[in-house]
Structure formats: C-alpha cells, structure tokens
Structure 1
C-alpha cells in the first residue's frame, strides 16, 4: 500500500521559509522519492485531497504537478490519477571490451531490432578514405540504422566498411560483427572516441527525443589482427539511457 497519504498528511510545507509553496511541494515529493518513502508506481493523492492535506490551493498543487511531470518524476494517467514515475534502468557499456550492439544487448537478455536507414555501396568521403586507408577508386559499404532494444530506440549507427571486406551490405540482417566473423574478418582491437553532443532534429525524431537533447557520440575505428582497418562507425546514443564505464588502474611508479 502506498505511503503517500501519510507522507503528505504530516507535511507542513506552509510553515517557515520564503520559497514559493509549489517549490516546497516539489521538494517534498522529490525528497520522499530519494529517501525511499515513495516508490515507483506509488499513487499520489489528487489535487483536491492534496490541497486539503497541506492547506494550500489546488492551483499550487497543479503547478507543482506540472513541473514534476515535465521533469519525469511523476506521470499522470487520464482517469487513473498521478503516480511516481518508474526509473528507467541505464545501460552500462564497458569501454574495455570490443563488442557489437547486438552482443551487448544479448548479454543483458534484451531482444534487438533495427530500422534500416541505408545499406549501400558507394565512393568514400575524404574522411572515410583516410581512416580506412583506402586505395584510389576503392568503394565502401555503408550501413546506417536505428538500433532498438525491447523496441525502445537507443542508438543510431552509421558504419563504413571497405567494400572488399563486405561486398554485399544487404547481407547484414542483425550483427555486423557476426557477419565479419563468418568471413574470417573479426576485429580484434579498436580505437574509440566519445564526447557529449546535442541531437539534431532528424536524429532526435528517430530516437523519440526533442531536438537538442543530450546524446553520447562515439567514433570507432576497428582493426583486424594484421593491422588493416575493417570498420569506421559513428554512433549517437541516447544520453538518458547509457553510461560508458572504464576500469582504471594505478600506473606503475605512481
């Protein structure tokens, strides 16, 4: 049973302090969640009941609720009421392991799907030719797709592979690395850079986020055992769903 009525019944947000009452109500809710007094999916009393419990106006309650819903703290369901929003589990990706999106999600027991944006063969851009160490006239196979786990859009991948390594990009259905492994071309090491960025309007629409939402941009250059570059992939990951994790060790002599 939700502890919400007891929490609000004993509150005295009108006492002391110059802060606006709606801000005090917001703090009361967020503190109760942080302290574990309110749990995911707990029901919050309605505007009328909450206003009566706290001795404040319904307008004040409505403004606090609106801010908390916008912040993702509460959710309102028509005909049902207001509830504590469930916290989404963030996905931790270790930076020390060379795996594909499919492999990462499979380790977590999450089914994956892809919305293909492009699978094509063409001439490389100057950057692709330089990074992939291509000879003049060589082509690249391009793979661009929206990656989903449990049907939630999580990342946009844009990969370029030397055409000699992947003559038919349409052969890729799920995992690029599995396809490369089948051809004896499994990458054994990679250099990966990442930084924070803001989503463009187009990328935001694909990920279901507003333009300018925070994202993590990664650029991966992967190598075969003989040193040849086999992959150049640039990806945008949802900033609200991912944590990149690195294990650090004290260097010798420190």
Structure 2
C-alpha cells in the first residue's frame, strides 16, 4: 500500500470523529509519520492528489499541511514539494554544568562549527549597561554565532561583554570561553533563565525551521570567581533538538537552597 493510500485509509477511520476535515487530515498524516508508514525524507502526495482522492478541497489540504509544517512534522522545499521532516537527534544538556557549546558537543563526539553573524564593538544598550555595569561612554563587545553540530544548526548565541575584557572580538577562535580563559576571564558560574518562544522569521531561517515554530530562549549572566559579571548572553535554541536537564535534591529541615 502506498503512502497516499495509508493516509487515506487513516482518514476514513477518523471520518466518524466529527472533527473539522483539516484536523482529521492532519491527524491522519501525523499518525502515518509516527507509525513509520512514511519516513523521513519521503515525499507527501501533492495537494491536488490528496484533495482528489480524499474528496476534500485543496484549501482544507493546505491548512492541514501548513499546520504540520509549523509543527516540524513536514518540511516544504520550494519547487520540490512537501516532505516528511528528518528526525532530529535530541541533545540533552545539564543545567548544573557551565560549559561552552564547543566543549559540550565535543564530549558527545559531534563535529562542531560556527557561522559568525556579528563580531564588533558597539555603544552599549540599556540592558547591557545595567547587567555588565558599563557607563554610557564605554563600549561593549558583541559576538553572535550560528552554532552547528553534525551539519544541523542548533542555536543562535548572542553574547555581550565589556570591551575592556574583549577588546578585539575578531580574535576569537572556535570558543569564546577558551579565549576568555587565556586572559583569566573565563566565568566560573552563571544564572540562566529559560523561556518558551516562537521563532521569528530571521532566526527561523538561520535554524532552518519554519517561522513561528517553538524554540527555547535562554538568557545567561555569567560571573567570575570574584562575583563580577563577565558575560551577558541571549540565545535561541531549536525546540525540537534540545532537552535541558536539572538535578533536584530534597533539602533537610533548615537547609538553605543555594543557586
């Protein structure tokens, strides 16, 4: 039985549910993918074929397909058609360890590369002045990179540091933390805030996912052993590729929970 026939068989099974047609079709396609009846990289029948065989409008088909594209189940390639999205191997990262992206991926045996989006000295923004303790006359070093592991873009990192700490952003090699370590300015702890976000057009294009899909927005403030703030980073991660894991421990009576 072809992939199209599998989808239509499931659509007939769900036709008694009373749900809107586009939801029935979306569920049928998603079930076919989840069961492995159509696999990563397989082409979906055209809108015209699905509409004709299922006896529904192309508008209904398009709405179901677009929902699945936004959900990361399907991908559309201009001029080629619609395909089942490749399965993403999820990366699990501990929240109890402060490491660089390069170090973290290297431990997993993954090849890592970065695409520089920005490296330069700028007048600080109000947020950067407040977090980094800068005056309006000082400069901030900004470095922004698209982080890629095993040829899959995973994250966009945008870091800000005082120009006195990083006077030449262009001199950074593959790791910011390695560069900071050579001057004794590598952070030893950080406070990290993670929130859900929907990726905007620009970030989605860089991460090669549909605009509006779920992502993770991470704001990190890193400190030296002296307690001085050294780094202010705002990053965006693919929601389909990352799991952040934290270990929780039960404290005894009177014990204080420390960050």
Alignment counterpart, residue 71 of structure 1, candidates 55, 68, 72? 68
More displaced stretch, 126-135 vs 179-188? 126-135
Q: Equivalent residue for 2:123?
A: 123
Counterpart check, 1:59 vs 2:38: no
**C-alpha separation in 2, matches of 1:132 and 1:190:** 13
**C-alpha separation in 1, matches of 2:123 and 2:21:** 62
| Aligned-partner SS, 2:234 | strand
Counterpart check, 1:104 vs 2:99: no
Alignment: residue pair count: 245
Superposed CA deviations along residues 198-248 of structure 1, whole A, max 9, x for unmatched, are: 223222222223333322111111111111111111111122222222121
Counterpart check, 1:149 vs 2:149: yes
Q: Equivalent residue for 1:54?
A: none
**C-alpha separation in 1, matches of 2:247 and 2:38:** 32
1:20 to 1:176, Cα distance in 2 relative to 1, 3 A: closer
| Aligned-partner SS, 1:253 | coil
1:100 to 1:42, Cα distance in 2 relative to 1, 3 A: closer
**C-alpha separation in 2, matches of 1:204 and 1:219:** 18
Q: Equivalent residue for 2:160?
A: 160
1:249 to 1:165, Cα distance in 2 relative to 1, 3 A: same
Asked if the contact 1:13/1:24 (under 8 Å) is kept, the reply is no
Asked if the contact 1:42/1:84 (under 8 Å) is kept, the reply is yes
Q: Equivalent residue for 1:138?
A: 138
- Where do 5+ consecutive residues of structure 1 fail to align? 52-56
Larger radius of gyration: 1
Question: RMSD between aligned alpha carbons?
Answer: 4.0
1:76 to 1:62, Cα distance in 2 relative to 1, 3 A: farther
- Where do 5+ consecutive residues of structure 2 fail to align? 255-259
Deviation at 1:61, TM superposition (A): 9.6
